[in-house]
A and B are shown apart, each in its own frame.
Chain A
């Protein structure tokens, strides 16, 4: 009987704990009401512009939000992923930023104004007066110069992680794009480029180009890879609307309102970001009430989220899924003695025939992919540029999107000499162990497209490999695959970041991934890249896009929208296609 007593005592203990101090987790209908702010600080006046559906914006409260991970590093210059940006951009600010909700409009942040056109090599930024870093030191021109000089002179240990600086400023050191950064007055910084760069201003809107307090950089030995504590310790080096209070890796990041913020103070008292890697677990956390919002809702959960009374905040996509076609993949794989070559068994690729590539494009019903794989929230990709891009119309003018036409595709194949006795056999690869916003279910997408291709007479051999290099990515980018899935999430809104990055020539050779060697393409890309006038630039890139799509070097398939979910008390979140989003305007209704 004693054993029973043990069991009952334990059971009672569990029940008591379950009930103890427990206000039941908020159900969506009730909403979860954060406790009143305990801080003595004055609550800021909410700005009138934020008056949206939930009533008058009110200040106060704590929001617990779940992302997939916390930051890879706390040093903004050394980060390049959205999860890191989410936390760091609440704390650190750049000179200029994208206007909320846009991808092609600039607003001044730490710079009140600036001069400099895309065709110029000199940019003069006038800094905002009276801005102080969280450590109390003032923001001045010298601080900006300190940050830019620091990035330009990153030692090799840091260069791998400082991806964006390297990519946007043509590498590091004295020979890169930046010729000089000078403090020309107390609040005036002049940045001189070696040559005009139409993407310079958009580039420096990214979180890695945020301005950090020089005093903090020095006190944390930020530039000494062996002893730096800047990327790991909680420091007060930003100017943003939130201050980082606590950071426990893999557990939580706690931020609180910066009471001395130069602009409209944040409405939340504090913001806690928790990492929950699994999308199903993030949804459960919202349902269970332990978070009030989360990012990257699984498209298959959109309906659940809405039917349970949560709000779904959609973010237009800034990404594109494509099907890469490579007519010279078999030669590439054989020349590199890659294991991939074995699957081709020495046979010639039918993709060398343009008609076959066109048949592939016509055989694919892109519309049919949107509902099952993107929960109906994505859109068909006629070009590489997503609809949220300011360039999408300009590019579309140069491209004639292929219509889905199974009969036409069948005919093209037949005319090219392929039939049941002599089928066009293609090897089609998809990645495993990965999902991306543009590629929620690689295997399912592969099956759907395989079916479409087989319907018009292709023989498709399925292949897969693990995503990480030197697996799938390595083989795809070295051009070993006949057909493969890959996609792109834009870094900033310029066609050079899309068509240029993927199809640019190197030493006269076309990009290995597509083997897309089209007459006039190399010159067209160079001309488009050098074009500084906006309208002419759009036309020039449209011509590039036309050449690429005409020759079916790839088939753009879909843009996958992403979404956030919130309980109905969370108001004022402004999504941006680039994912660059501030919690400054977020507030909690009663």
Chain B
């Protein structure tokens, strides 16, 4: 197992190198450059040239790339062209907000997706199954932007039972940002009311972000459970008179979860991507919105470092998923 993890970690190096080249070149293919974003209407050709020189954008590409990669090796993600802020600081400040949102979405997707997948599989062919299929199809195809705005309209404006945006009621709770995860910070500050309020702020964005993963997880669970239900060992377990609950939990679910776990790992990418829209709609100051702004402003330094860090996180999450296979199915051996 140790060897396996080490090998996967070493594999990160070529993956990262490839990614740096891709990200570096792609963003320079985007139309526009940071000088225009900085200067706006005032962009006289001379001013653009001056800013380009100041940012080093007039230097040969290979030189710019070398500076970028050597910075990465020193764990220096550079400074934003637009705000002059340290990219590492900015990332660390916003990432907890995204983690909190992503976790809420994942909890929503898992706690509903797996039971619903299991239920529809066991009632295969029933009206419940058909309804589940239709709902999951809608869930997969609904645009996050539309869903987010609708949820807000319904539950924050028409029936105002949940907050429309933000991460906590700023008037009511002045909670010091320690981790920048509002739920955690509220607990650290001993504010139970603040904790509940932070949870309430998580509901709508969590649902908006978690709906697509929910639908996918539900479909995969259903397919996987149907496969397992047809296995001999399940029939045997049923035949020897085990309680249905025991059969479901010990034999069906545990075996059916393997493909589900793989999908969960892959969903992390989708969640981080979806966070861009969700964070924009719900005024959530996370990494998604930060990178979106950077793309709009051609803030190369933020895009190339931010995307890379997210890619590393994505790869690590999937590594963790691979490792978790062994716990779900001890027959799996890593070599």
- By a beta-carbon cutoff of 8 Å, the part of chain A in contact with chain B is 2-4, 6-7, 10, 14, 17-22, 24-25, 27, 34-35, 62, 64, 66, 69, 72-73, 78, 81, 156-157, 159-161, 163, 167, 225, 231-232, 246, 248-252, 254, 272, 274-278, 280-281, 284-285, 287-290, 433, 465-471, 473-474, 477-478, 486-489, 512
**Nearest 6 A-B pairs (CB), nearest first?**
A469-B36, A288-B164, A468-B32, A251-B285, A250-B285, A3-B115
Complex CA distance for A167 and B41, rounded to whole angstroms: 14
Q: A73-B84, A248-B93, A285-B165 are in contact. List 16 more A-B contacts (CB 8 A).
A: A14-B203, A17-B199, A21-B193, A25-B160, A62-B170, A64-B171, A159-B50, A160-B50, A231-B83, A249-B285, A252-B285, A281-B152, A284-B156, A290-B166, A468-B33, A469-B48
Which of A7, A284, A486, A488 meets B149, CB within 8 Å?
A: A284
Q: Is B283 an interface residue (CB 8 A)?
A: yes
Is the pair B200, A254 in contact by a Cβ cutoff of 8 Å?
no
Q: What 0/1 readout, one digit per residue, does chain B (143-158) give for beta carbons within 8 Å of chain A? A: 0000001001101110
Q: Is B239 an interface residue (CB 8 A)?
A: no
Is the pair A469, B33 in contact by a Cβ cutoff of 8 Å?
yes
Is the pair A470, B84 in contact by a Cβ cutoff of 8 Å?
no
Is the pair A157, B54 in contact by a Cβ cutoff of 8 Å?
yes
Looking at B14-22, B62-70, B172-180, B314-322, the stretch in contact with chain A turns out to be B172-180
Which of A27, A81, A465 meets B160, CB within 8 Å?
A: A27
Is the pair B164, A285 in contact by a Cβ cutoff of 8 Å?
yes
On chain A, the residues within 8 Å of B189 by CB distance are none
Most chain A beta-carbon contacts within 10 A, residue among B82, B93, B94, B165: B165
| Chain A nearest CB, measured from B28 CB (Å) | 12
| Chain B nearest CB, measured from A6 CB (Å) | 4
Is the pair B119, A477 in contact by a Cβ cutoff of 8 Å?
no
Complex CA distance for A246 and B168, rounded to whole angstroms: 15
Complex CA distance for A288 and B165, rounded to whole angstroms: 8
Smallest CB gap from A34: residue in B: B171
Which of A156, A246, A274 meets B54, CB within 8 Å?
A: A156
Most chain B beta-carbon contacts within 10 A, residue among A4, A281, A478, A512: A281
Interface size on B, residues (CB 8 A): 75
Most chain A beta-carbon contacts within 10 A, residue among B115, B164, B283: B283
A250-B289 contact, Cβ under 8 Å, with A288-B163, A469-B36: yes
On chain B, the residues within 8 Å of A81 by CB distance are 40
Is the pair A473, B36 in contact by a Cβ cutoff of 8 Å?
yes
Is the pair A252, B170 in contact by a Cβ cutoff of 8 Å?
yes
On chain A, the residues within 8 Å of B165 by CB distance are 276, 281, 284-285, 288, 290
Q: Is B106 an interface residue (CB 8 A)?
A: no
Is the pair A249, B93 in contact by a Cβ cutoff of 8 Å?
yes
Q: Is B250 an interface residue (CB 8 A)?
A: no
Q: Is B311 an interface residue (CB 8 A)?
A: no
On chain A, the residues within 8 Å of B161 by CB distance are 18-19, 22, 24
Which of A62, A288, A488 meets B152, CB within 8 Å?
A: A288
| Chain A nearest CB, measured from B165 CB (Å) | 5
Is the pair B166, A274 in contact by a Cβ cutoff of 8 Å?
yes
Which of A19, A20, A287 meets B164, CB within 8 Å?
A: A287
Is the pair A278, B157 in contact by a Cβ cutoff of 8 Å?
no
On chain B, the residues within 8 Å of A157 by CB distance are 54
Is the pair B41, A486 in contact by a Cβ cutoff of 8 Å?
yes
Q: Is B85 an interface residue (CB 8 A)?
A: yes
27 contacts between A and B (CB under 8 A): A2-B248, A3-B119, A7-B115, A7-B116, A10-B112, A17-B199, A17-B203, A22-B161, A25-B156, A27-B160, A78-B84, A160-B51, A161-B38, A231-B85, A249-B90, A249-B93, A277-B289, A284-B149, A285-B164, A288-B160, A289-B160, A290-B166, A465-B31, A469-B33, A469-B35, A473-B36, A474-B36
Is the pair B170, A3 in contact by a Cβ cutoff of 8 Å?
no
Q: Is B335 an interface residue (CB 8 A)?
A: no
On chain B, the residues within 8 Å of A69 by CB distance are 293
Q: Is B118 an interface residue (CB 8 A)?
A: yes
Complex CA distance for A466 and B83, rounded to whole angstroms: 22
Complex CA distance for A76 and B293, rounded to whole angstroms: 21
Is the pair A468, B163 in contact by a Cβ cutoff of 8 Å?
no
| Chain B nearest CB, measured from A497 CB (Å) | 11
Is the pair A471, B164 in contact by a Cβ cutoff of 8 Å?
no
Complex CA distance for A473 and B37, rounded to whole angstroms: 10
On chain B, the residues within 8 Å of A470 by CB distance are 32-33, 36, 48
Complex CA distance for A274 and B163, rounded to whole angstroms: 14
On chain A, the residues within 8 Å of B88 by CB distance are none
Q: Which of B27-62 contact A (CB under 8 A)?
A: 31-33, 35-45, 48, 50-51, 54-55
A469-B166 contact, Cβ under 8 Å, with A280-B149, A284-B157: no
On chain B, the residues within 8 Å of A3 by CB distance are 115-116, 118-119
Complex CA distance for A433 and B199, rounded to whole angstroms: 35
Smallest CB gap from B193: residue in A: A21
Is the pair A35, B180 in contact by a Cβ cutoff of 8 Å?
no
On chain B, the residues within 8 Å of A161 by CB distance are 38, 84
Smallest CB gap from B37: residue in A: A468
On chain A, the residues within 8 Å of B141 by CB distance are none
Is the pair A275, B283 in contact by a Cβ cutoff of 8 Å?
yes
Q: Is B298 an interface residue (CB 8 A)?
A: yes
Is the pair A488, B171 in contact by a Cβ cutoff of 8 Å?
no
Is the pair A2, B245 in contact by a Cβ cutoff of 8 Å?
yes
Smallest CB gap from B82: residue in A: A72
Complex CA distance for A72 and B161, rounded to whole angstroms: 34
Complex CA distance for A93 and B62, rounded to whole angstroms: 45
On chain B, the residues within 8 Å of A471 by CB distance are 31-32, 36
Q: Is B100 an interface residue (CB 8 A)?
A: no
Most chain B beta-carbon contacts within 10 A, residue among A19, A231, A469: A469
On chain A, the residues within 8 Å of B296 by CB distance are 433
